[in-house]
Every structure is written in C-alpha cells, then in structure tokens.
Amino acid sequence: MNVPPLKSVDSAKHVPALDGVRGVAILLVLFFHSGLIIVSGTGTAGQIYEIVSRSCWCGVDLFFVLSGFLITGILLDTRESPHYFRNFYLRRILRIFPLYYGVILWLFLQNPEFPDQIWYWLYLQNWGPVFGGSTPPMVVQPFWSLAVEEQFYLLWPFAVWLLGHRSLGVFCGSLFLLSLISRCVACYQGVDAMTVYTVTLFRLDTLSAGALIAVWLRNPVLESYLDRRALTGLIIVGSGLLTVIAVDHGFYIDGPASQTIGYSLFAVASALLIAVVVLKSTQSGILSRLLENPVLRYFGNRSYAIYIFQMMVLIPVRKVYLTYWNVTDASPIRSVLAFCASVLIILLLSEISWHCYEKQFLKLKRFFPREEPQEATPVVVESCAD
C-alpha cells in the first residue's frame, strides 16, 4: 500500500515536547553531578544510585544530538536567504556568548592564576589537554561540551550551504562512521578516556546523528519511512544499549563497550527519539504528554544557564556540607536535601540570569530575523536553540 507523504518539516513552528527533551538532558546532567554532594552509602539503594548517577553523563550527548537536529534544520530552512551566514552567526552569538563570556570573565578575575585561560576565550578548552594543557579546574570542567558545540556552529553552516540534501545526508553518515571508527582506534591505542570523551573528533557521531534526522525529515519519502519505522528502530537500538550496559555493568564514560559502540548507539537512540517526538507532535500520546510537562519544559528552557552555573553552586555547597559533616558521618537523606537546595539555588541564578541579563541581548535578534523561503510549509520544530 502506498503511504502518502507527510508535510515537509521545517523549523518555523515550535514543538513543546522538544523543550521537554532538553529538560530531560539537563536533569540527567544534574543527577550525574549529584555525586559531588549525595552520599550513596554501602547498601543496595546506595549501589543502585551510584550505578544510575554515573550513567547520567549521557545527558550531554542528548544535548549534542538535539543541537545537531535543531541547528541543521534552521540552516536548511534558511539556506536560500540573502543573509544566511550573517543572521545565523549573530543569532548564535547573542544566545551563547553573553552568559558564557560573562561567567568566564568573572571566574578569571576572581583567580588571575586560572590555568590555560586562552583555551576558554577561543572555545578550544576541550583540545587543551591534548596539546599539553593542564587538567581544567572542576568549576569549568563541563565547559568542554560548550566548546564542541561552538566548533560545530562555526563550521556546519558551510557544510549545509555547500551540499545538497542528498550529499549532506551522506556527509552526516560519513562523519558518524569517522567518529565511531576514530574512537574505537583511540580506545584500542590506550588514549586517555577523558580525551576520548571530550575531543570533538570523537563526538561527531552525536551531532551528525541529529543532523541526519533533520535532513531526512525534509524528504517526504524518508520522513514517511521514519514515521513508520522510527519507533521500531528505537526499540532495536535500545536493546543494543542494554547489551552494552550488561557488558560494562553500567553505562559509564570510560566503559570499554560504552566508549566505543555505546556512545554511537546512544546517539542513534537519541536521534530516533527526537524523530518520534517530532513526527508524533500533533498526537496526544503518552510520550508527548510526558515531555510537554511544564516542569520538564521549564528545565529545558533554562538548561543553558543551569549548565553554566551548576558547578559554581555544587562545589561550594559540597565544601560547606563537608565542613559540618564528613563523608563517613553524613546522612544520605541530609545529602539529598543539600543537593536539592543546590538545585534551587542554581534555578534561582538561572532565572535571574534570564530576566536580567540574557533576555536583554536576545532582544537584539529582531535586527537579524530568520529569513525563510516563501514557499516553506511550517509544521515543526523550533526550540530555544534559536
């Protein structure tokens, strides 16, 4: 039976569930870093908490896949506009630079001896240790992912502009395989696990997986195929991930199976999840209702500031906490309450940052509007990425 093609996707219409996906990602990141404060204990509950929390690093990868999807969609839908490069770069700068540079300027003024500052000014901090730089202080360790995304934002507009839809899809697939193969070779050669985790070359499978979904959803034939097969593919890939978890006894940053095939399987699973969310966005299913939950969407809409501020709050709270209770005496319940208090402080800072600082710069976006072809048919998928 012939399946009628769906309307072509473009990035003009907002899909609330994608904010929820972003909310899931930032909650995973926060839970991963909860180990700075929460005392797991030695019982069964503590062991389960440790396994689960240590596996939540994948929230960053979910961010990467979502960014690849959203940014590629925006670029594809504005590729023919007369100010394609100018508007994209300036809109990105207004969204990303003010908070990032404001925070690192404050950190560097607080500590003039802060090591390897130049890497942070140039968004190259994830490459610093490869070229002899020092291990970054804990307060800025999560910033490596911001460098990966900024490097992607810098170069990806040229790839989209130069390549047609078909060639871009092949290019995305090639980058995915290049990243997977390079990571496997690096792991086999004994490259440091954190280098494999943070260097851009080894993380391109996440960004390219999201980008490939954006390309496919703009092809009526492939979009129809995804509509029929994405959920099945998600189940199959999920089964592969469960195998990886069984082999490594968890889904860990440095697990041998996780760091090779596991990273890529999670990228594919995340990309298929996004495809399902977008294609089912007009239906009132369980997944849509879950991801459109106001709490998840709130975390998603504040995720950038939360990500920036998290360590600036968690580290001093940890110091204060351990001043009064050492690790062996600390109560798990007390540590959970301390972590929850930390999250509330992070949210407060994020809210202040949004209303008093970030939003003021975003008002300037009106001078650089997204210009889409007149014939575009808006169906989905704008997010706070733009």
Per-residue pLDDT tens for 9-18? 555 568 899 9
Q: How confident is the model over 85-136, as pLDDT tens digits?
A: 999 999 999 999 999 999 999 999 998 888 889 999 999 999 988 887 778 8
> What does the DSSP 8-state code read for residue 262?
I
Least confident residue range of 43-47, 88-92, 316-320: 43-47
pLDDT at res. 377: 43
pLDDT at res. 3: 38
Task: Please say if the pLDDT value at position 259 is more than 70.
Answer: yes
State the DSSP H helix or E strand holding residue 177, giving kind and residue range, or none if neither: helix 165-188
Q: What's the CA gap between 352 and 183, in Å, rounded?
A: 40
Task: Please say if the pLDDT value at position 350 is more than 60.
Answer: yes
Mean of per-residue pLDDT scores for the chain: 89
pLDDT at res. 323: 78
Question: What's the rounded mean pLDDT across residues 325-345?
Answer: 81
pLDDT at res. 333: 82
Task: Please say if the pLDDT value at position 382 is more than 70.
Answer: no
The tokens for 194 are 């954190």
pLDDT at res. 12: 55
pLDDT above 90: percentage of residues in the chain:
72
Task: Please say if the pLDDT value at position 6 is more than 50.
Answer: no
pLDDT above 70: percentage of residues in the chain:
90
Task: Label residue 270 by pLDDT band (50, 70, 90).
Answer: very high
pLDDT at res. 321: 84
Task: Please say if the pLDDT value at position 324 is more than 80.
Answer: no
Task: Please say if the pLDDT value at position 379 is more than 80.
Answer: no
Task: Label residue 7 by pLDDT band (50, 70, 90).
Answer: very low
Task: Please say if the pLDDT value at position 79 is more than 70.
Answer: yes
Task: Label residue 29 by pLDDT band (50, 70, 90).
Answer: very high
pLDDT at res. 281: 75
Task: Please say if the pLDDT value at position 232 is more than 70.
Answer: yes
pLDDT at res. 322: 79
Task: Label residue 192 by pLDDT band (50, 70, 90).
Answer: very high
CA proximity to 379, closest of 280, 272, 288, 273: 280
Give CA separation, 358 vs 180, 261, 299, in Å: 36, 38, 16
Q: Which residues contact 46 (CB under 8 A, 6 or more apart)?
A: 39, 40, 332
Task: Label residue 269 by pLDDT band (50, 70, 90).
Answer: very high
Question: What's the rounded mean pLDDT across residues 362-381?
Answer: 68
Question: What's the rounded mean pLDDT across residues 204-208?
Answer: 97
Task: Label residue 385 by pLDDT band (50, 70, 90).
Answer: low
pLDDT at res. 335: 86
CA proximity to 380, closest of 85, 4, 6: 6
* 120: number of Cβ within 10 Å: 24
Q: Which residues contact 11 (CB under 8 A, 6 or more apart)?
A: 70, 73, 74, 76, 77, 380, 381, 382, 386
